[in-house]
Amino acid sequence: MNITQDGPFLIIERERFIVRFPAALADDLEELQDQDFYVTLTDGPTYYASLMTLDAIDAVLRRWSQTGEGGSYFFTTDLVITPRPGITAMIEAIDGLVREGEIANACQIIPDPTGRRDASA
């Protein structure tokens, strides 16, 4: 998988989409359990997604329970849950959403983070 750095974003280009996410090449990308992504379809709109593992969700619930912030539930918009940590699992999930035509059901369209006019507008 080819990953490049563009300012604060790491970029992965695939046939049907480009993924941008805030991280550094020095990060251990196969240990990621909670990551935000911008997914721009080829000649299409840009979507926002948060990808998390069940372990990451459990960690949030436990932390909130200990800090008194809650812990009885967890929710977030545009959440995709992956079965294992790492950038490979996350890109596989995004690829599946795009391939199956489910990206629009799982995520909301947002303005393109590169400043380009969104193709859906």
Task: Read off the DSSP letter of residue 119.
Answer: T
Q: Mean of the pLDDT values across residues 79-94?
A: 96
Summarised one tens digit per residue, pLDDT across range 33-86 is 999 999 999 989 999 999 999 999 999 999 999 998 888 888 888 999 999 999
Task: Read off the DSSP letter of residue 116.
Answer: P
Burial class (CB in 10 A: 0-12, 13-18, 19+), 105: exposed
Structure tokens that stand for 74 in this block: 């967890």
Q: Mean of the pLDDT values across residues 115-121?
A: 50
Q: Mean of the pLDDT values across residues 4-10?
A: 93
Q: Which helix (H) or strand (E) holds 62?
A: helix 54-67
What is the pTM for the complete model shown? 0.84
Q: Is the pLDDT of residue 119 over 50?
A: no
pLDDT of 115 reads 62
Task: Read off the DSSP letter of residue 68.
Answer: T
